[in-house]
């Protein structure tokens, strides 16, 4: 069997019962975007969306993953890419492990813990 013969279990559609899909629906992304945008000076380089920043922190705390491991997990998972707000699955991510480290510096653990607790409540 080759990689081209493998059919993913979701047949091109993600399951609404998946915990990452449920968490994506439960987070008030707009509220976080407004808070996150205050960390940046106006007129600077365009920032990576706040949903990606917070989402990476949630993934990192949930899995207790390194910055590099967060990138690897997201690259491999359509569910995690959906959670981060990406519209299609891609092997090329708009961020690196260095970027994840910057997210960690800007978004404190206390801001991420409620989302991680909520994720763990989904079964």
Angle between helices 67-76 and 97-106 (to 10 degrees): 120
pLDDT attached to residue 26: 94
pLDDT exceeds cutoff 60 at 3:
no
- Tell me: the pLDDT tens digits for 19-61? 999 999 999 998 888 877 776 667 666 678 889 999 999 999 9
- The three-state (H, E, C) secondary structure of the chain, written as one string: CCHHHCCCCCCCCCCCCCHHHHHHHHCCHHHHHHHHHCCCCCCCCCCCCHHHHHHHHHHHHHHCCCHHHHHHHHHHCHHHHHHCCCCCCCCCCCCCHHHHHHHHHHCCHHHHHHHHHHHHHCC
CA distance 113 to 72: 22
Stated pTM of the model: 0.86
- Tell me: the pLDDT tens digits for 108-122? 999 999 999 999 999
CA distance 29 to 9: 28
């Amino acid at each position: 069997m080759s990689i081209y013969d493998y059919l993913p279990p979701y047949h091109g559609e993600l399951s609404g019962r998946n915990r990452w899909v449920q968490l994506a629906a439960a987070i008030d992304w707009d509220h976080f975007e407004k808070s996150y945008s205050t960390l940046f000076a106006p007129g600077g380089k365009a920032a990576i969306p706040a949903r990606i920043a917070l989402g990476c922190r949630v993934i990192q705390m949930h899995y207790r993953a390194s910055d590099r491991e967060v990138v690897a997990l997201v690259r491999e998972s359509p569910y995690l890419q959906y959670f981060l707000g990406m519209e299609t699955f891609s092997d090329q991510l708009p961020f690196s492990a260095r970027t994840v480290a910057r997210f960690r510096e800007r978004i404190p653990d206390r801001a991420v813990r409620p989302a991680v607790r909520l994720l763990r409540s989904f079964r």
